[in-house]
Amino acid sequence: MEIKWLEQTGSTNSYLRERMDSISPMTLVCARSQIAGRGQRGNHWEAEPGKNITGSFYMQNPEVSPMEQFVISEAVALAVVGTLKEFGIDAKVKWPNDIYVGDKKICGILIENAIIGKSLQWSLAGIGLNVNQREFLSDAPNPVSMALIAGKDFRIEEVARSLGRNLESYLSRLSERKSLHDEYMAGLWRRDGMRHPFRDAATGEIFDASVSDVKPTGHLCLETENGIREYAFKEIIFLSKDD
Ligand code: BTN
């Protein structure tokens, strides 16, 4: 995957969206400084200039139906986990596609899809991987970086090249839905067969459940003592034991 470096932009997701006709698909556009980074739920994404990977790429007409679009999230998340592994860091995917080390978030992924009729016209993924940042000023609850974990700095360009390679390799396997899904499930955070506490965002109900599956649409299946419940992103909140 080619990597294109920008000195500064607002958001690499927005940059790409505005320039899809002039930038080739599968080019990872990284900004050394991203001044208006966008996160999930309309949040701001904090990234100190020059210290992290803030990058995006897009795929044109990926051969994935909108009903199975979650396989793209799975592939992107697995690529990040693969890169972290290459640098000696053991990470897991917190459903749907946050990357965690222990109980801390090291990477966020923001995927935007354009659906026309029954097909995906394009899919754009933005990746914010915390590399050398050691202090986080925003109110993000539990950030961590590669440097904080390893106790040393990393070369950003080297990490970006590894990410480009892993993205290319995982995204070339989109048609092998089942094997990607199995790998995603095997590396899922809190999928240890134990019951963990969750809060239903709509009703506020707190209950214990174990993570049993993730549907091709991305819905999370939780097994409670009364059966399986399915949740879409934002409908369910992972709690910790002391919440
Ligand atoms: C999250 O909230 O977890 C998702 C964060 C995604 C951040 C990345 S940084 C590169 C790309 N550009 C953006 O504006 N957001 C994504």
- Give pLDDT tens digits along the chain (243 positions): 999 999 999 999 999 999 999 999 999 999 999 999 999 988 999 999 999 999 999 999 999 999 999 999 999 999 999 999 999 999 999 999 999 999 999 999 999 999 998 899 999 999 999 999 999 998 888 999 999 999 999 999 999 999 999 999 999 999 999 999 999 999 899 998 899 999 999 999 999 999 999 999 999 999 999 999 999 999 999 998 766
User: Coil, helix or strand for 175?
Assistant: coil
Q: Best of 8, 34, 40, 45 to mutate for ligand 1, by most ligand atoms within 8 A of CB?
A: 45
**pLDDT score at 243:** 65
Atom of ligand 1 nearest to the CA of 98: 3
Closest C-alpha to ligand 1, atom 7: 128
Altogether, the residues listed in the chain come to a count of 243
* Tokens 């506490």 belong to residue: 197
The answer to whether the CB of 97 falls within 8 A of the CB of 219 is no
CA 73 to chain centre: 7
Structure tokens, 63: 């051969």
Determine the pLDDT at residue 37: 96
Q: What stretches of 153-195 adopt beta strand conformation (E)?
A: none
- pTM assigned to the model: 0.95
